[in-house]
Homo-oligomer: A and B are copies of this chain.
Amino acid sequence: MLPGCYCRVMVTQIDPAVSSVGRAFALLSVFQSRDRELTAAELARRSGLPRSTAYRMAGELTGLGILEQTLDGRFRLGLKLFELGQLALYQRGLRESAACFLADLSNATRQAAHLAVMDNCEVVYLDIIRPSPPPRLRSRVGGRLPPTVTGVGKAILAFSPPEVVDEVIARGLPRLTTNSITDEARLRAELVKIRRTGLAFDHQEQAVGTSCCAAPIFGANHQVVGAVSVSGHTSSIRLDLVAAAVQSTAAGISRVQGAQT
């Protein structure tokens, strides 16, 4: 088992493709952030399930409140899912304890402040505080990104056990812009630097025109539990000026998370 990795692995493995529950979640996972509602036929096509199976399952999920059906028969994700998702967040408390820190950070820097954790070798944004007026940024609460192309991802990675880094590298280093790190050696060197300075930067590595500065959050026994960042348009953000604020915010959240300094 990976130390520092929260999830255990159950001994009995069940093929997600043939279990009812696995299929149900496969059906839910076909929804993309850009599409609003999907027809039953579209659900079947995307999930690869037979048409009648997808149809029946969608009906079942609708009865449970997991899906909703519009008056013209199309499906979208239901509020019951939202409720469960919020509960998942609430259970780990990180967002609640970080909320005011995040707001202060956004206020002080007049940029968007992000809170993220790592889940299954991906970065998940738990909260985003945007300054007003909000800039056009791609990031979305609940959204997932590869860790190697984000400041928060690299900040978490730098303080994760080596097995996690290996796993991330094994999955491949995606190139989202010409600045993305796609070379293992360069990534490892950068992680060393981040470990030394406690700061991670993203110079248009995820999207052209946006830069960011991130710092890790630690919990009990000095395990990294997440990261905060400030990001904005490359032309409007001075990374050197926000670095200290990011770092002190991360330290503050770490303290309330129970990290002994």
Instruction: Give A residues with C-beta under 8 Å from B.
Output: 1, 6-8, 10, 12-14, 16, 19-22, 24-25, 28-29, 31, 33, 35-37, 56-57, 59-66, 68-71, 73, 76-93, 100, 103, 117, 119-120, 124, 126, 132, 134, 140-144
Contacts and interface: CB of A to CB of B under 8 A. Distances in A.
Contact of A69 (B7, B60, B103, B117): B7
A30 to B, nearest CB: 11
Label chain A's interface by main secondary structure. mixed
Chain multiplicity (copies): 2
Given A37-B91, A77-B91, A78-B88, 10 more contacts: A6-B68, A7-B68, A12-B56, A13-B63, A21-B24, A31-B87, A36-B92, A80-B119, A83-B142, A86-B140
Contacts of A61: 21
A80 B211 CA distance: 27
B60 A19 contact: yes
- In the complex, which of the residues A33, A66, A90 has the most CB atoms of chain B within 10 Å of its own CB atom? A90
A82 B57 CA distance: 21
Given A21-B57, A21-B64, A61-B21, A90 B142 contact: yes
Contacts of A28: 84
A8 B68 CA distance: 8
Contact of A85 (B33, B56, B83, B134): B83
B70 A142 contact: no
